[in-house]
Structure 1
Amino acid sequence: MNATLLKSGHVDVDAFVLANRPAWDRLEHLVKKRRRLTGAEVDELVDLYQRVSTHLSMVRSASTDQVLVGKLSGLVARARAAVSGAHAPLWQEFVRFWTVSFPVVAYRSWRWWLGSGVAFFAVAVVIGVWVATHPEVQAAVGTPAEIDQLVNNDFADYYSEHPAGSFALQVWVNNAWVAAQCIGFSILLGIPIPYVLFQNSANLGVIGGLMFSADKADVFLGLLTPHGLIELTAVFLAAGAGMRLGWSVVSPGDRPRTQVLAEQGRAVISVAVGLVAVLLIAGVIEAFVTPSSLPTWARIGIGVAAEAAFLAYVVHFGRKAARAGETGDIDNAPDVVPTG
Structure 2
Amino acid sequence: MRSEPSMTAATSVENGGQLKRRSLGARLVTANTFWIALVLVALIIVFSALAPNAFPTVFNFQRLAIETAVLLVLAVGMTFVIITGGIDLSVGSVLIFAGMVSAKTMNALSENGSAIDAGWGVIIAGLVAAVLGGLVWGFVNGFLIAHAKVPPLIVTLGSFGAALGAASLLGDGSDIRTIPTTLKRALGSGTSFGGIPNLVITAAVITLIAAWLLHTTRFGRYTFAVGSSQEAARRAGIGVTAHLLKVYLLAGLLAGAAGFMSLAYYSTTGIAAHSTDNLNAIAAVVMGGTSLFGGVGTMLGTVIGVFIPAVLKKGFNIVHVQDYWQMIAVGAVLVAAVWFDQQRRRARDRL
TM-score, normalization by structure 2:
0.38
Larger Rg: 1
Higher percent of residues as helix = 1
